[in-house]
Amino acid sequence: MTSSNLIPSLWDNSKASTLDEPGLLLYRSNLLGSDLRITNYGGGNTSAKVAMTDPLTKQSVEVLWVKGSGGDIGSMELDGFATLYMDKLAALKDLYKSRGQEDEMVHNLNHCTFNLNSRAASIDTCLHGYVPYAHVDHVHADAVIAIAAAKDSERLTKKVFGGEMGYLPWQRPGIDLGIKLGRMAAEHPEYVGVVLGSHGLFTWAKTAKDCYDTTLRIINKAAAWLEANAKKPAFGGEAVAGLKADAREAVALRLMPEIRGRISKSEMKVGHFTDAPEVLEFVNSRMLGELAPLGTSCPDHFLRTKIRPLIVSHDASAAALDQLIADYGDGYSAYYERCKHVNSPKMRDPNAVIYLIPQVGMISFAKDKATARVAAEFYVNAINVMRGASGVSTYVGLPEQEAFNIEYWLLEEAKLRRMPKAKDLAGRIAFITGGAGGIGSASAARLLGEGACVALADIDQASLDDAVAKFGAAFGKDNVRGFLMDVTQENHVIKAMDDTALAFGGVDILVNNAGITLAANIEDTTLDLWNKNISILATGYFLVGREGYRLMKRQGMGGSMIFIASKNAIAASPGASAYCTAKAAEVHLARCMALEGAPTGIRVNVVNPDAVLRGSKIWQGEWRQQRAASNKIAEDELEEHYRKRSLLQRSVFPEDIAEAVFFFASERSSKSTGNFLNVDAGNAVSFSR
């Protein structure tokens, strides 16, 4: 093992010297969580036992600070820790009589809360509390789980770590495992930690720094040992050669919308594709067929990636996909039926999360982009575990019944039930042209706020970068992508739509909105001015609409298109023939597409804005001067002018247009197609007739 593969210590003594005990615990946690080789996202927990003043009695008491339920040690803050009175936690041991009381004991943890802390304690709390050392780390390091998931894991633990690590066979975490772990630590002062079979490791020490150092040292020791002792090549070597990078992408592009359409019946899914080297090594290997069905080992991996992945061949036909997905669902139902208890929650979505495609890579699907991406990361962890274990021994997955007991654990079900209701557009994917402009970005914000993933497509790189950064910060980086493109260029449009499908798995909502206004009296309208309007507003809407339509049709889940036309699409206006004509063409194109799209559930509707000055780039340029001049007013009187001109005497803002976009994008308008909705504060010339 080269030193570059070793996880380096990031501990900074000068920084640490400024921190109190809770601060040191947080510092250590964030350092540990910053490296995926140490623990997977959201996995593991850390703790410290700290003397604190009781807020009521003012007495000094010992308090366990331990990462609470949910959150990630890499990014958590102090409020992510649960705090519990150590004496009360210890007293739970006397209440506990049998394994049947495990769930009840989790409720009892609430009674141990110190200082009214609202962070719920996790099921791992007792594992930390009962270890008689001030500092305890629990992480899911791939290198250690590889040893923990080997058939002869106990023997390997001794071999790799000598006498410094204990071993406990797989058991679901809770008070019982906590008691066993605490006892083992007390009886073996020579131990610096314990390997938990099929799960991960616990390490402990008297100081925060020693604990951090020990955790790293143990992981590095395991990794170095695996590296030195593994059979080569990994996974028995290559069975099939990988396709070239663009061919891999082309397969993902074809399969993602088709799989997505088939598995989104009960819940909309977003996809994630990766062809990282470790994924390709596994999916192309001789051992794929043997290892993949065994499922993952660490319960964290398993909860994120489902009981097992589905292997799909890169040239699977539509009929083959139907069959594979149906078979997987049947297999999942059979697993549920085999393992269920009388009081088990109802069966959940029977579709796979992970799709392994030999020669191509891996696609994952989940209810949102971040969850799909994280599921892929977890499966990479699982691949690392399988590589490690199968390299030195035989890999074993979690026993099926144990996996089921975790997946359908009543407390887990209660957690799911407490989750807020899914947002209107959860799992939906939107593509917005002119997404960096005024109305486009207001629409993006509205759709993102309702849970959609959004691809912004625009010709203006600087505005696009700003918009992507702004929305990434507000709604999560996973949910936003920006694609530079010109709606008049067929190849740009095709590429941007492909990039969207590859980024998220498909498209459900298309907002045709990119626009310009170049206006002149008819006798001054040059052919160039005419062509510019027509090419962006009419031809551009056609190209984008057509590509979106093709993709939606392949997905087979219907979809909603919204064309942002204009009052001028309905009402003729002087001095802007080219613009008005192009806008009228958009409306008619929308109607024609509504007609053709209806049988496949593709709806097409139009929103007609008027005089939306705020945020609009159109209203910053020449158009503004022209409109002011033609109305014989100053430019800064325009907003007021348009307000007074409207029937309702109100200004129209980008958010008002975005509201109509949301309505047409969502199921709230599921019975509407071929319509137009004016959002113009009332204007008799554009009444529909």
Ligand X SMILES: NC(=O)c1ccc[n+]([C@@H]2O[C@H](COP(=O)([O-])OP(=O)(O)OC[C@H]3O[C@@H](n4cnc5c(N)ncnc54)[C@H](O)[C@@H]3O)[C@@H](O)[C@H]2O)c1
Q: Which residues are catalytic?
A: 579
* Shortest CB 178 distance to Zn ion, Å: 12
CB neighbour list of residue 363: distance below 8 Å, 6 or more residues apart? 252, 255, 256, 259, 271, 272, 273, 354, 355, 357, 505
Which member of 222, 611, 660, 665 binds ligand X (CB under 6 A)?
611
* Residue number, 21 or 610, with CB nearest to ligand X: 610
C-alpha span between 670 and 591 (Å, rounded) = 16
518 part of the interface to ligand X, by CB under 6 A: no
- Going from the C-alpha of 329 to that of each of 110, 326, 378, the distances in angstroms are 38, 5, 22
Binding window for ligand X (CB under 6 A); candidates: 38-46, 66-74, 399-407, 508-516: 508-516
Considering the rule CB under 6 A, would residue 324 count as an interface residue with ligand X? no
Residue number, 544 or 557, with CB nearest to ligand X:
544
Q: In 69-152, where does DSSP find H-type helix?
A: 86-95, 102-108, 125-129, 142-148
Find the shortest distance in angstroms from Cβ 439 to ligand X.
3
At residue 135, what is the residue type? H
Rounded Cα–Cα distance for residues 146 and 37 (Å): 12
Residue 487 interacting partner from ligand X, Zn ion, none (CB closer than 5 to 8 Å by kind):
ligand X
Edge-to-edge strands, sheet with 200-205: 81-85, 60-67, 45-53, 135-139, 200-205, 193-196, 165-168
| 50: three-class secondary structure by DSSP | strand
Question: Could you tell me the two tokens for 357?
Answer: 């495609």
Closer residue to ligand X in complex, CB, 193/438: 438
DSSP state letters, 540-573: HHHHHHHHHHHHHHHHTS-EEEEEE--HHHHS--
Please name which of 415, 9, 385, 425 lies closest in space to residue 198, comparing C-alpha atoms: 385
Interface characters, 562-591, with ligand X (x: CB under 6 A): --x-x-------------------------
Min separation Cβ 667 and Zn ion, Å: 39
Return the number of the residue (222 or 497) whose C-beta is nearest ligand X. 497
For position 486 contacting ligand X by CB under 6 A, the verdict is yes
Please say whether the beta carbons of 295 and 307 come within 8 A: yes
Least Å from the CB of residue 199 to Zn ion: 6
Could you tell me if 428 and 452 are in contact, meaning their C-beta atoms sit under 8 angstroms apart? Answer: yes
Only one of the segments 213-221, 272-280, 366-374, 616-624 lies at the binding site for ligand X (rule: CB under 6 A); that segment is 616-624
- Which one of ligand X, Zn ion, none interacts with residue 515, CB within 5 to 8 A by kind? ligand X
| Residue 144 found at the interface with ligand X (CB under 6 A) | no
Compare residues 360 and 607 and give the one whose CB is closer to ligand X. 607
Chain length of the chain: 689
Residues 191-230 that bind Zn ion (CB under 5 A): 200
Q: How many CB atoms lie within 10 A of CB 1?
A: 13
Looking at the Cβ atoms of 384 and 539, the one nearer to ligand X is 539
Residue 516 interacts with ligand X (CB under 6 A): yes or no? yes
| Dihedral class, residue 187 (left if φ above 0, else alpha if ψ from -120 to 50, else beta) | alpha
Q: Which does 536 bind (CB under 5 to 8 A by kind): ligand X, Zn ion, none?
A: ligand X
Return the closest-CA partner of residue 334 out of 315, 354, 320, 350: 350
Where are the strands (E) in 230-346, listed by range?
Answer: 270-274, 310-311
* Torsional class of 601: left (φ above 0), alpha (ψ -120 to 50), beta (otherwise): left
Using CB under 6 A as the binding rule, whether residue 458 contacts ligand X is answered as: yes
In the complex, minimum distance from the CB of residue 464 to ligand X, in angstroms, rounded to a whole number: 8
Q: Kindly tell me which of 296 and 566 has the beta carbon lying closer to ligand X.
A: 566
Q: Does 357 bind ligand X (CB under 6 A)?
A: no
459 sits near ligand X (criterion: CB under 6 A): yes
Q: Which is nearer to ligand X, 185 or 485 (CB)?
A: 485
Q: Pick one of 381, 488, 666, 686: the residue that binds ligand X (CB under 6 A).
A: 488
Q: How far is the CB of 425 from ligand X (least distance, A)?
A: 21
- Which of Zn ion, ligand X, none binds 456 (CB below 5-8 Å, type-dependent)? none
For ligand X (CB under 6 A), the number of binding residues is 30
Stretch that binds ligand X, among 86-94, 338-346, 423-431, 606-614 (CB under 6 A): 606-614
Picking from 627, 625, 621, 613, the residue whose alpha carbon sits closest to that of residue 657 is 613
DSSP state of 395: B
How many angstroms separate the CA atoms of 128 and 16, rounded? Answer: 22
CB atoms within 10 A of CB 474: 12
Site string for ligand X, 401-440 (x = CB under 6 A): --------------------------------xx-xxxxx
When binding is defined by CB under 6 A, the residue of 45, 47, 215, 463 that contacts ligand X is 463
Site residues (CB under 6 A) for ligand X, limited to 533-552: 536, 540
Are the CB atoms for 389 and 149 separated by under 8 Å? yes
Residue 242 has what DSSP assignment? P
Q: How far is the CB of 623 from ligand X (least distance, A)?
A: 9
Closest distance to ligand X from the beta carbon of 488 (Å): 5
**Could you give the residue ranges of the DSSP H alpha helices within 450-599?**
461-475, 490-504, 527-533, 540-555, 567-570, 577-597
33-41, 106-114, 241-249, 609-617 -> range binding ligand X (CB under 6 A): 609-617
Establish if 482 lies at the interface with ligand X (CB under 6 A): no
From 8-16, 93-101, 225-233, 453-461, give the range in contact with ligand X by CB under 6 A: 453-461
DSSP 341: -
Q: Which tokens in the block code for residue 429?
A: 């994917």
- The single-letter DSSP state of residue 346 is P
Amino acid at 33: G
Judged by CB under 6 A, the residue of 612, 661, 677, 681 near ligand X is: 612
Query: CA 102, CA 99: separation in Å to the nearest integer?
Result: 6
Binding partner selected for residue 122 from Zn ion, ligand X, none, CB under the kind-specific 5 to 8 Å limit: none
- Residue from 388, 482, 515, 597 touching ligand X (CB under 6 A): that is 515
Q: Are strands 135-139 and 354-357 parallel, antiparallel or unpaired?
A: unpaired
**Closest residue to ligand X: CB criterion:** 437
Q: Which residues contact Zn ion (rule: CB under 5 A)?
A: 200
Q: Which residues contact ligand X (rule: CB under 6 A)?
A: 433-434, 436-440, 458-460, 463, 486-488, 513-516, 536, 540, 564, 566, 609-612, 616-619
